[in-house]
Amino acid sequence: MHLFKSHSKYKDYIYMILGTGLMALAIKSIFDSAGLVTGGFTGIAIIIKNITGNIVKGGVPLWFTNLLLNIPAFFIGYKIKGAHYLKRTFFATIALSIWLFFLPAFPICQGDNFLTVVLGGVLTGIGVGLVLMSRSTTGGTDFVSALIQHYKKHYSIAQILQLIDGAIVFVGIFVFGINKALYALIVIFIVSKVTDGIIEGVKFSKAAFIITEKKEEVSKAIWDKIARGLTSLNATGVYSGNEKNLLICVVSKKEIVELKEIVVNADRKAFVIVSDVREVLGEGFLEM
């Protein structure tokens, strides 16, 4: 289920502020103190802060490195894409740097690798999801990947992003060790799953494709028992050449077991295919 059903300019900017705040909390209070480099410009910032600790008191600040690395990226992006393309991303990038500047550094889950990985991944995933739902990004490597893809069109943005972030995580091995890098990979996995959950929804439905010769009996039984409508299509068995009906029915996860029982009782020869549905818009589910 989508957390937000409509977009307005003000809501988008609120999402960006909240999202970047959660990301900054994870970066500054979890990843930085734990030495986890999860890719992105903030990952580079964590590396630079660590290796400059003996040169600059406390190391080069995270917010400074993040902002500094984004400046040339935005300059190139302005030349290629124009100002309108950069507006939201620029705001989100500045917001993240401001959060990194003002948030106090108070280590969370220090010494507990499991909580560090899970909490850091969840906070970052929610933050990234909110930013993406505002139709923006926080700049960084995903923005750079989009610019590179403008010239290298035979590569996808995702492929370029994986290559860049993978290189950053690899460099982190030499600074923090291989164990930290392995934990960072787990964080990246959690972030991707949580982000998908925020954007696409976590209340997945089920779609049942029912091939039957008893359309009326099956349809009536489903409607009478669980009050779900169906769509009927004409189908033909390729091997037998027999005319059949293909019924399509979308139900919640808790209804799928009952649906299969209903179909079996109405037509024992029916063929049922069940698949996951990420999102359903319309009557009985989410309003459009």
Residue 101: inside a domain, yes or no? yes
242 and 273 Cβ atoms separated by less than 8 Å: no
Do residue 171 and residue 226 come from a single domain?
Answer: no
Helical (H) or strand (E) element with 123: helix 113-133
- Is there a single domain that holds both residue 108 and residue 213? no
- Other CB atoms within a 10 A radius of the CB of residue 277 amount to 14
Query: Does one domain contain both 184 and 228?
Result: no
Rounded to whole angstroms, the Cα distance separating 43 from 50 reads 11
In which domain, by residue range, is 77 found? 9-200
Q: Is residue 288 part of a domain?
A: no
Q: For residue 15, give the H/E element and its range.
A: helix 9-26
Query: What does the angle CA 6 – CA 199 – CA 193 come to, to the nearest 5 degrees?
Result: 165
* 221 and 146 in a common domain: no
| CATH assignment at residue 224 | 3.30.70.120
In a domain, 2, yes or no: no
Q: Do 46 and 98 fall into the same domain?
A: yes
Q: Which residue is listed with tokens 């808790």?
A: 254
Q: Decide if 4 is inside a domain.
A: no
Q: What is the pLDDT of residues 15-31, one digit of tens each?
A: 999 999 999 999 999 99
One domain, residues 148 and 219: no
**Residue 130 placed within a domain:** yes
Residue 117 to residues 16, 179, 255, Cα–Cα distance (Å) = 23, 12, 34
Indicate whether 122 and 249 sit together in one domain: no
Same domain, 36 and 144: yes
Q: Are residues 117 and 242 in the same domain?
A: no
Report d(CA 46, CA 242) in Å as an integer: 65
Give the integer Cα–Cα distance in Å for 50 and 204. 42
Q: Are 138 and 93 in contact (CB under 8 A)?
A: yes
Same domain, 156 and 264: no
Q: pTM for the whole thing?
A: 0.71
DSSP 156: -
Choose one of 169, 200, 231: the last residue of a domain: 200
- The structure tokens 């502020």 sit at 17
One domain for residues 66 and 81: yes
- 43-74 pLDDT, tens digit per residue, is 999 999 999 988 888 889 999 999 999 998 88
Q: What is the pLDDT along the chain (288 residues), one digit of tens a residue?
A: 444 444 467 888 899 999 999 999 999 999 998 889 988 899 999 999 999 988 888 889 999 999 999 998 888 888 877 777 688 888 999 999 999 999 887 878 777 888 999 999 999 999 988 888 887 888 888 888 878 877 877 877 767 888 888 899 999 999 999 999 999 999 988 988 888 778 766 556 789 999 998 999 999 999 999 888 899 999 887 877 788 899 999 988 778 888 999 999 999 989 999 988 876 665 555 554
Distance CA 112, CA 80 (A): 45
Which tokens go with 248?
A: 């399509």
Backbone angles phi, psi at 57, to 5 degrees: -60, 115
What per-residue string of b and e applies to 92-109 under the rule 16 or more CB within 10 Å gives b?
A: bbbbbbbbbeebeeeebb
Cα distances (Å, whole numbers) of residue 208 to 59, 77, 230: 57, 45, 10
| Cross-strand pairs, 232 | 247
